[in-house]
Structure 1
Amino acid sequence: MSSAVLRQAAFAARSVSRKCAFSTSAVARKDLVQDIYIKELKAYKAPAPLKDAHVGVVKNYSLPPAPQPPTLPADLAGELSAWDAAEPTFAAAAKPVTEEGTGPTGAEQFLAFLEADEPKHDEAHH
């Protein structure tokens, strides 16, 4: 036999042995859990949907009542002139700060607090 024929025979034997090794290992590694899962998926039958499933869950829609237009007072001019003549009333005057550590309570006191100079600090403390 020539060396070429021997090489071809050796190559063929190796390829056959590789195919057999892969095919036997694939059969040995069969996943039983996956097979059971697929079998159960195929056997599953979805339940038929209920025709009146919405009854008791969905409420009937009804339009809200139409709003009523506002009614004008009989003496509109008199009420407007009374409103113009009235003096504006302000909330109770701001109370002065009595406790230490609380800030100003009214708008005027707050603005005065913001405009006040910062207290002077000794440079020795820093």
Structure 2
Amino acid sequence: MSSTVLRQASTAARAFSRKAAFSTSAAARKDFVQDLYIRELKSYKAPPAAKDAHVGVVKQYSMPPTPKPPVVPADLASELSAYDAIEPVDAAPKVADGSAAEQLTMGADTFLAFLEADEPKAEGHH
């Protein structure tokens, strides 16, 4: 029985040492890449920007003209009465066919009865 325990202990020790080896190499690799990245960032020099780079790209801002207030007509009452006297324009289309006019003016009950009516069965193959 002691050989079984000894074998299990050595297997566990090898597995633990492998995990430790992988974790340290990954950490070392990460540090190397991170150090390389930071070194490259520190050594980067941005190209100098031109002093007049905005010329031709940015437009000069000017304030819009102030709007004028609306002018109230001198004889407002007569204009309102003239507006009220105008006959409204009928926007409904004129239908010459009587059946189409009936369909447009049919009530809700008539329409529902039309929808519920049985359709004639089409003669088909027997």
TM-score normalised by the chain length of structure 1: 0.45
Looking at secondary structure, tell me which structure has more helix per residue. Answer: 2
User: Larger relative CO (CA 8 A, sep 6+): 1 or 2?
Assistant: 1
